[in-house]
Amino acid sequence: MSLTGAYDPDNIFAKILRGEIPSVKVWEDDRILAFMDVFPQSEGHVLVISKTSTAQNLLGIDADDLAAVTAAVQRTARAVTRALSPDGFSIMQFNGEAGGQTVFHLHFHVIPRWADRPMKGHGHAPMADVEALKTLAAKIAAALD
Ligand code: 5GP
């Protein structure tokens, strides 16, 4: 997918937003959904997306929606770090197929990191157990501001 192609309303995250495929939600409001990555690169890997923008990537989102998403990324990272006590965390965001993006609805990755645990590669992590994701999501949600 190029950086400037049309938004596909049938991408996986659009289907998750419409409730057509399941996801393990951490939190949501009118503008934002934060949910567990089903192929986590690290325990507690959360994705944060806009409900109101159909930007494919960082180039297409308007400033107001971007402000809401970045505030949501910070809120999520605070909860993840409180809940799981990692040594650090990575915020990742990929743009265009050549940039490593595989789902073309703009999203930010919140990935907790531990000094003694290598992070799995992007696109190379196995599918997680859904019950384990639900447990993590509940723990993170309980630590939200
Ligand atoms: P990207 O490669 O576009 O930056 O990130 C897409 C992310 O979506 C990947 O980390 C991948 O593991 C995750 N992902 C792909 N399919 C699904 C799915 O059906 N459900 C969830 N929760 N995550 C998905």
Whole-prediction pTM = 0.98
CB atoms within 10 A of CB 129: 10
Atom of ligand 1 nearest to the CA of 93: 4
Return the CATH class of domain 12-142.
alpha beta
Residue in 37, 73, 93 to alter for ligand 1 test, most ligand atoms within 8 A of Cβ: 37
Low-confidence ranges of the chain (pLDDT < 50): none
Of 120, 14, 100, nearest in space to 58 by CA? 100
pLDDT at 22: 98
Q: Reduce the DSSP state of residue 77 to 3 states and report it.
A: helix
Domain ranges of the chain: 12-142
Of 134, 141, 132, 144, nearest in space to 23 by CA? 134
pLDDT at 42: 98
Q: Is 122 a catalytic residue?
A: no
pLDDT digits (tens, 9 = 90+) for 57-77: 999 999 999 999 999 999 999
Ligand 1 within 6 A of CB of 39:
yes
